Chain A
Amino acid sequence: MDTTKEYKAEEATIESPLQKLSGSKAVLEALLSENVSTVFGYPGGAIMPIYDALYDYMDKIKHVLVRHEQGGIHAAQGYARTSGDTGVVFATSGPGATNLVTGLADAMIDSTPLVCITGQVFASLLGTDAFQETDVINITAPVTKWNYQVTEAHEIPEALAKAFYIAKSGRPGPVLIDITKNAQIQEFDYQGYKPCARIRSYRPKPIVRPQYIEEAAKLINEAKKPFVVFGQGIILGKAEKEFKKLIEKAGLPSAATVMGLSALETEHPLHMGMLGMHGNYAPNVMTNECDVLIAIGMRFDDRVTGRLDKYARQAKIIHLDIDPAEIDKNVEAAVPVWGDCKETLPMLTELVDKKEHKEWLQQFRELEKEEIKEVINDELNPKEGVMTMGEVLNTLNQLTGGDAVMVTDVGQHQMVTCRYATFNKSKSNVTSGGLGTMGFGLPAAIGAWYGAPDRQVIAIIGDGGIQMSIQELGTIMQFQPKVKILILNNQFLGMVRQWQQLFHDKRYSFVDITSPDFIKVAEGYGIPAKRVDQREGLQSALKEMVDHDGSYLLEVMVGKENNVFPMVTQGSSVSEIRLK
């Protein structure tokens, strides 16, 4: 399938200043002008005029028909995460629109740029409880960066221009435009599409104040034990190189949040692993040992900080973020650096001294050894007994060489993937970090492939999560995205079971989940599939999956009652992280 974006905006824009155009065509012209090549959607009554217009644009805009609107929006999220562009979704009114809500909430908390276009009943029917009418603007207000209801066709170009600008600028987020059916049908004097570059009340890009950069550099230069914690802000700001220059110059050990993974290649000597509840031992312990903590493009989520009043209290905190509402929200910053890290990081690099901090780095490595001995060795290279999720990941790493896009669902397999997958390239970790949406993995992987069709895309999903959006196998069947689906089946809702084991006296309440024969299900969808339940067959099965040119499903039967460790239990400080 052709996924190149050869279409030029100038060709699309209708030159004649006063041409009559329908609202629906204006929507599609706007998408072309914004270089949108792929849309994920599902038709229905109130969005039929847009779908009718789409019929004439099929050669210019690829539309992927999903099997559920929630699948559509997760696919758009996956697309946005691997491409770095804005994901676009079409859905109809009423249930079509309400099915987007989970995806909107997910994109909102994970700062994913999306433009969702929903159909709405005729403006004359608004508020009458018309068929498939729902108050989508009010329902989605708390989970969108901005939303707007269009009731007249002439509003469309400007509304969409604003939507794309708001979704992508500053701290990205989802935008929803609700278009009544009459506005889609209505013809108006089209004057071309003008992209939006500015909104008076919205100022996504602050002027960086050198005073704060100087303060930050001074703290870093004086620090004996500096430590960097980085998040997705680096990926969203496309500042991976700028980030690497800073940490390499100042010799700063750095650890990623779940969302920050892949911003720095896993094997980089200054990469100290992952932070948080199931993160690595060293970065969690050292958070409470460092003297200066430099937080870059991250928001001190509770899963990262553990108990807040025991979080890095000894350290001076420098917080770089583009969203002023994040500064001082959870953790007070001694030096707030408000700005786009693409700008602030080079300014900081300029002022920091060249250092190595050899002894300090060695301390991380010592703790890492402890984690390898206590946890990692058994997880990655078990000699006997049941298969572990870690050994699947370890074998997979050897086959992909760390070049694959890893898409995960939510639960134990997600934490294991985040812990053990190697990432060589940015935008390689697609996961529902903030909202923790089960059912995210499969549709997100479809979108992730459209966003990066030349890359190997592997969806790692549990036996619970796959059943939440298994209908999207139909989308794979029809459109053939080359998605590799790896089900890690432990026959339990594993993460909940782990908590029930550790904190609820093993009272396994409704975590014992039955699964269909996934191989037969895949066969029904025409997707080649295989199951492995013996260690001996693992390597070759994974190789077959990776090498297969097309979608493929592999189910690996792993230990039923394995746990993910280390773990910062709820109410504990990060330095009280448990190794077992």
Chain B
Amino acid sequence: MTAPVAPANPGMVTLTIEGRIVVVPPGTNLIEAAKTAGVLIPHYCYHPSLPVAGVCRMCLVEVEKFPKLTPACATSVGEGQVVHVHSDKAREARKGVLEFLLINHPLDCPICDQAGECELQDYTFAEGRKDSRYMEPKRFNPMEDFGGDVLYVPNRCILCTRCVRFMDVMAKDPVLNVSERGDRAYIGKFEGRDLTHAWAGNVVDLCPVGALLSKDFLNRARAWELDRAASVCPSCSQGCNVMLETRDNVVVRIRPRPNAAVNQHFACDVGRMNYRWINRRDRLEYPVARTANALTPASWSEAVQQAAAAIGGATHVTVLASPSLSNETLFLLSRIAVHVGASSVMTMERGDEVPLPGVPDLSLRAERVANHTGAALFGSTESDAPLASLAAGDVLIVADAAASVTTIPDGVRVVVIGTVLHESLLPHVVAALPVCNFAEEDGTFTNLRGRVQRFLQAKAAPAQARPSYRVVGELATALGAGSFPPLAADVFAVMAATFPAFTGMTYRTLGLQGAPLPLLVEASA
């Protein structure tokens, strides 16, 4: 037999996996190499963001000229290797591994939250035995509350130790361990410690089976009922890539979406839990305008005209914009601000910064807003007392930032562009325009490192609410600040053409992984 003819790939390793030629950098393990060829090697304990443990034995593959089967996760590629993933020998070995994993497994898929996204289900379906030969009583351990948001069901555990390694290596808060040994082994907590680390929720995602469950999501929905939309976490300025998972138009879960440049595979508990506000029902649902000293429902054009008239007739205009609005909306607000000579201010909620030590530059940031970098780019300045300079005759444009608005001097008129209409504003409002929140529209955020990342619509908007970029664009047009397209991608294109910071960017080039601002790339080059 002649060796496969390797293409000239200096510095790379060429091997054959399932008959496909694969060229990867040296040191790559066989699981990752197989992925590049589109071959999935079944695995449990291996995770691309965690150190290799090689404990589950699920990734056994046959490599020619090796004396026995080898775990693909712990085997580096070698020049000219020929790997068989689905040979009879490898399949038989993995079948045996699965049979052992299922010996003490309760097979309670109907009541298990992981059902539908469970790797034990998937691989058993793909390669496992159809029945069990185990006759003895199964081991039983009671459920255990791990603290934080995590519930541990030891009967379902396959002891892959992903959670242990995450808390050890990534969180650097080694709370979990493998207690006992042999078939009595289970994941234990150290005495008196709880899984209260701010990033501990990741163990639920890492768990390939239903052993670690989120208490928040427990029994809420089945995995296959969920609709998923790629998004960006709005809870801090880190901009972790997330997946918004909805059931019947209600966001029920936020999970991290892998992005090697931002959050790898992780998201913090604050971001995971901060989704209930997205579903709130007390929304501003239709445009409102002031007629004869009362706020009444109005048509979109009436409300926009009324808002434009008030802004046009103001002595001074202040724009109070939420730094969690999208780049597109903030850009259009800046067009209005430039056109009428307004001052732009913002307020920011702050909290403690909680890093995930195992990943460089990944942290729950102190600024608990999604887009303060973008807001600053578009000329918004942070202020502790944003309304101090307001005087009678002024107009205040509140763009989804009403939470920070408390008292407004008499004689100041307010235009609300927001998801809710706060009661404290009511006496001052001349027009209120309902907009979508970030889960209901498309857009981009700029994170604190200047990475522009897209988020997609995950749910439908309530009643007459429209995307914020469209509403602000119409208001800008009514004010004579130019005409703007009604789609997020086109607004972004106008923005990229107007603002040098975004030059050359389009939704297509951003993709779903985002890209750093061109200026930053040049600065670092």
Decide whether A and B assemble into one complex.
Answer: no
Chain A positions within 8 Å of B, measured between CB atoms, are: none
Chain B positions within 8 Å of A, measured between CB atoms, are: none
